[in-house]
Amino acid sequence: MSETNSPTDLRYSTDHEWVRIEEGADGPVLRIGITDYAQDALGDVVFVELPAVGSTITSGDSVGEVESTKSVSDIYAPVTGRVVEVNEALADEPSAINSDPYGGGWLCVVADFDPTAVEALMDAAAYTSLIAE
């Protein structure tokens, strides 16, 4: 396994997703993606099935899929909330998940989430320990 990167300004789920709280037009929103570790393990991503804009996602439920040259993996909602935006650019360029997992490879943006649920996720140090196991 090559060296992978887990930025300190993000929170992480045990399902290898990252979240970042951002300021939306109508209050805080949560941007969600998969981690560098996850994309490295999956290999080349060739297709992403994203949740529908407007849909409600429930923490722990499968809300989409990442298809790589190796396998298909579920995307699990790290928190409960409402999807307000998905990364349409991934349709034409799914490889952004590999090349820029914390930037252009983001998956979706969620509103109406519980900030304490975000606090309950791992910080970078805890996630780094998890993937070192």
Partner 1 sequence: MTESAPQPLHTTALHDWHVDHGGRMVDFAGWSLPVFYETGAIDEHHATRRSVGLFDIDHMGQITVAGPGAVDAVDRLVTSDIVGLQVGAARYGLLCAEDGGVIDDVIVYRTEVETYMVVVNAANRETDFAHITASTSGVDVVDRSDELAMIAVQGPEGIALLDACTGGAASATERFHSSPVALFGQTALFGRTGYTGEDGGELYISGDVTAVWTGLIAAGADHGIDVTAVGLGARDSLRFEPGYPLYGHELSRLINPFEARLSWAVDLDGADFIGRDALVAIKEAGVARRLETIVLDERGVAREGAHVLDVDGDELGVVVSGMFCPTVDLFAANVFLPRSHGAVDTDVIVDIRGRTKRAHVATRPLYRRT
67 in contact with partner 1 (CB under 8 A): yes
What does the alpha-carbon distance between residue 70 and residue 9 come to, in Å, rounded to a whole number? 30
Is the distance from CB of 90 to CB of 98 less than 8 angstroms?
no
70 in contact with partner 1 (CB under 8 A): yes
47 in contact with partner 1 (CB under 8 A): yes
131 in contact with partner 1 (CB under 8 A): no
Q: Which is nearer to partner 1, 33 or 64 (CB)?
A: 64
Q: Which of residues 22-41 bind partner 1 (CB under 8 A)?
A: 41
Q: Give the phi and the psi of residue 16 in degrees, each rounded to 5.
A: 70, 40
Other CB atoms closer than 10 Å to residue 26's CB: what's the count? 9
What does the alpha-carbon distance between residue 130 and residue 121 come to, in Å, rounded to a whole number? 12
In the complex, the residues that contact partner 1 under the rule CB under 8 A are 2, 41-44, 46-47, 49, 65, 67, 69-72, 91, 95, 98
